[in-house]
Amino acid sequence: MEEQPITNPIEPTNENDSVSKTASNANIFDAVSVVAAIGGAVASLVTQQVAVVAFPLALSVGVHVLNRRQSINALQQHFENRVLAQNLHIVKTEEKLLALEQTLGQFKQETWLALEVQQQDHNKANQELSEEINQLQKQTSTLEEFTQSIESKEQQLTAVVEELRQLENYSQALRAEPSAAEVHYQRGVSHQRLGDKLGAIEDYSDAIRLDSKYAQAYHSRGILYAELGKRKLAVDDLRTASKLYFEQGDIDSYQKARDLGKEFYDLRDVMEEQVTVNAENITEPSDSPTENKGKAKFKPLSSVSVERLFA
């Protein structure tokens, strides 16, 4: 809303001009009455008649009274006009103040709404930024884990390459001296580390063939037999290894091979007993549900991991 300039009620108007004209006329009438009075006085002195002076005086008084009354009416009208103008100015000022208050209220409302929208946008931006930071942290963590995995695989690959190199060295040594039992055993260890159990068993068997008292070869081959499920061969090798350890004075290795063979032998007995019990519980299928009620159902044996036994 465009503000209107507030006029000064004290500034002169047409009414002021009218009052000025009335005052000027009053001054003229006053001058005329004074001249008439002086003229009457002079005439009375010349004529020596009182009546001659009385008329100009009466006329002067009448003109003066009339002049004062007109001046009072003009001043009263001027005052009333000034009061009316002042009241109009007050009304206009109040209207402008009311319009300013309304404009200010609307501005405050619009400002608060704009601030609220800005705050919401700011909160939303902060939330999105926090989510992006969390996502970046997750990606960084995933990248670190992936890097660690790569490093671990690289180390494993390095170990495999090194083991293959050792395996090739042992093979070259055996080509030069095939009867070296120790080299056969070490190559069997390399095969075992690389996961080639059958190749390791073959080298361990060659080492035993060349040296029948090679306790470590019996021990290692027994462990691999156990991992392959050949429990009887495993128990036999572990017993032979414990006997040779004892004869060689290696009591610690003797105790380990003995305990391992005994534990696995007991496990073999339990497994064989379980197989017998399950075989006895196998029944022919029946069409009647009541006939099968209460009878044991055959369940296939789950594979038994023996890695923990030889850790």
Q: Which of 63, 90, 114 is the last residue of a domain?
A: 114
User: What pLDDT score was predicted for residue 222?
Assistant: 93
**If the chain, 311 residues long, is cut into consecutive pieces of 10 residues, what is the mean pLDDT of each piece?**
50 55 61 63 58 60 73 84 89 90 89 90 91 92 89 88 93 93 95 94 96 95 92 92 93 88 66 43 41 33 32 36
**Does 182 lie in the same domain as 276?**
yes
User: What pLDDT score was predicted for residue 264?
Assistant: 73
User: What pLDDT score was predicted for residue 295?
Assistant: 32
Q: Give a yes or no: residue 122 inside a domain.
A: no
Cβ–Cβ under 8 Å, residues 225 and 237? yes
**Does 182 lie in the same domain as 262?**
yes
Q: Give a yes or no: residue 184 inside a domain.
A: yes
Domain count, the chain: 2
Q: Give a yes or no: residue 60 inside a domain.
A: yes
**Structural domain boundaries enclosing 65:** 14-114
Q: Which of 67, 94, 114 is the last residue of a domain?
A: 114
User: What pLDDT score was predicted for residue 82?
Assistant: 87
User: What pLDDT score was predicted for residue 181?
Assistant: 94
User: What pLDDT score was predicted for residue 237?
Assistant: 93
Q: Which of 114, 135, 158 is the last residue of a domain?
A: 114
User: What pLDDT score was predicted for residue 25?
Assistant: 61
Name the token pair of 23: 């005052």
User: What pLDDT score was predicted for residue 135?
Assistant: 92
On the CB side of 248, CA atoms within 13 Å amount to 15
